[in-house]
Every structure is written in structure tokens, then in C-alpha cells.
Amino acid sequence: MLLDALMAGDRRALGRAITLAETGGDRAAELGRQIREHTGNARVIGVTGPPGAGKSTLTNRLIGALRAGGQSVAVLAVDPSSPISGGAILGDRLRMTSHTDDDDVFIRSLAARGHLGGLTASTPAVIDILDAGGYQQVILETVGTGQSEVEVGEIADIRVVVCTPGMGDDIQAMKAGLFEIADILVVNKSDQDGVDQTVRHLESMLSLRGPEHTRAVIVPTTATKGDGIDDLLNAIDRCSTILNPNERRRDRTRRLLAGRAAELLREHLLRHDSERLDTACRAYENGERSLEQSARDLLKLEYP
């Protein structure tokens, strides 16, 4: 039985289960159902940010720090297959080779197959497999490219957004996506100029975030030297308030379901409910309703 072998810590079974999940189909769905009750033990740490910010170097350091604490670690690096970061997988592999002989470290690259430009549709299933397979920490590295950070927000229990000094206006542009989901904002490459300025800039942006967001913490790091990694790990630990597997599983499912429902709603409105969409659209264009009001009208939500 694949499930038994997987739960017994058999690495080949783990690889087979992941491949099955990536292929999809009935057998994958069946495995997914079987393992559900064995999930919720792993902590999923999402590490995202612009290309080249140092996510893989930082992840490599995190692996080391978590291993030193006796934790087993799985890393999923999502290859954005964008021309900018071509060869990312090879780069990631090279930067994480210090852990390849360690049985309690598992590193796998997932190809992003265009699912909303970010994560693959099978990522949640692969995380469940790693979780059931006994990995205590799962690090999900993705390049923040538009939609993907929203998905990381849905999948990861803790969201680490990596930026670098001197991003200036780029940070402003980041606001809508990356910034909103962050539990922890890492300013990596702190060995470069402009760290203090970037930290101040981030602080002032954080103070503008609405009350629905809990306040993110800012952690400067120099991943190449290992500086600030302990601070980062402490910040991650402080974010990990859910300890019970049932709660963690439910929390994860809630986020995934809400995200998927939002996607379906969008499709539904565009394809099958265009009359209602047009009505709301007209009210907005006539200036009768604001964009926010029109959107709420569509959802039949009362405007606060």
C-alpha cells in the first residue's frame, strides 16, 4: 500500500505519491482522501518575493536552522518558468546542495503549469503528501508574480515575503499583492546600502494597512552570511499559533476553499451571469455606485 509506505517514511513511496498527485485523476483523488486525516502536523512556510531577492539562499539557511533544531524539512520550489528567472531550478538545487545527503531534508521542484501564473493546481495535494509523510516543516518557495502570492496566502500557514534594500517604488508596486499577504517581511541583502531606509519605508506602509490585517514584522537578513536567520526563525515561531493538527487542517481547508470559491465566482460572473454583471457595470459607469459598492451589489453584500 502506497499510503502505508508513505507513512512509514519510505522516500520512494513519497516520490511516487507526489508524481501521482501531479498526474491527477481518480487514483490521486483517492490517495488525497485517504491521507487527509494524517495531515495537519506540518507547518507550511511560504517564502515569496521578487526574482533574485535571495529566497533560495534564505531557504537554504532556514533548512540548516530547522535541522539544527531537530526538525525534518521538505522544500517545494516552484519554477516560474519565466524568461527572467530561467534556470531557477538549477540555481535552487545548487544553493541547497548542502543538504542533499540528509534523509530528513527533501527538496522538489514543481513546474508551474500556468495555473493562474503561479502555483500548480496540485500544490496543495503535494503538501498534504509531505505532511502525511512526516515532514514537520514544509517550505514553499515561489516567485511573486501577480496571482501567485495570493495563492501562497491560501496555501501557506505562515507567509514570508522577501524584499531587498533600495526597492523604493517597487515596494509601492508590491503593495497590492505581496505586501498584503505578509506575516513577515524580510529585508534580505542587508549587507547592501539602504537597509534602514527600506525598513522605515516598510514600517510606514505597514501602518497604513487596514485593521483586518494583523501587523507584519520586519526582519533584516543577510542570507549569504546567515545573519538574521535566528531572528527570522523566531518570528516564524511566534506566528505559529495553531498547534493542533485538526485546527491546522481546518484552517488550511478554509483558506483553500475561500480562494477556489472566489475563482469560481469570477468565472461564473463572466461566463454565466453577464446580465447581472452588466447591470452592476452600468451603475458604476453612470457614477451611481462606486466600484466597491458595485462589487458588493453583485455579491448581495450590504455596503458598510
**Chain contacts with ligand GTP (rule: CB under 6 A):** 51-57, 85, 88, 91, 95, 143, 188-189, 191-192, 222-224
* 48, interface contact from ligand GTP, Mg ion, none, CB < 5-8 Å by kind: none
Give residues with Cβ within 8 angstroms of 92, minimum separation 6.
56, 77, 107, 109, 141
Euclidean distance between CA atoms 21 and 34, whole angstroms: 13
Q: Which is nearer to ligand GTP, 124 or 228 (CB)?
A: 228
Minimum distance, C-beta of residue 188 to Mg ion, in the bound complex (Å) = 12
The sheet with strand 184-187 has its strands ordered as 105-111, 73-79, 137-143, 43-49, 158-163, 184-187, 217-220
Parallel/antiparallel/unpaired status of strands 73-79 and 137-143: parallel
Instruction: Work out the angle at residue 264's Cα, subtended by the Cα atoms of residues 263 and 270, and round it to the nearest 5 degrees.
Output: 95
Euclidean distance between CA atoms 259 and 271, whole angstroms: 19
Q: Which is nearer to ligand GTP, 181 or 223 (CB)?
A: 223
* 54, interface contact from Mg ion, ligand GTP, none, CB < 5-8 Å by kind: ligand GTP
Minimum distance, C-beta of residue 56 to ligand GTP, in the bound complex (Å) = 3
Q: Which residues make up the interface to Mg ion (CB under 5 A)?
A: 55-56, 92
Q: Which is nearer to ligand GTP, 39 or 56 (CB)?
A: 56
Q: Which is nearer to Mg ion, 55 or 189 (CB)?
A: 55
Q: Which is nearer to ligand GTP, 120 or 188 (CB)?
A: 188
52 neighbors 85 (Cβ within 8 angstroms): yes
Minimum distance, C-beta of residue 123 to Mg ion, in the bound complex (Å) = 16
* 189, interface contact from ligand GTP, Mg ion, none, CB < 5-8 Å by kind: ligand GTP
Instruction: Work out the angle at residue 65's Cα, subtended by the Cα atoms of residues 76 and 238, and round it to the nearest 5 degrees.
Output: 85
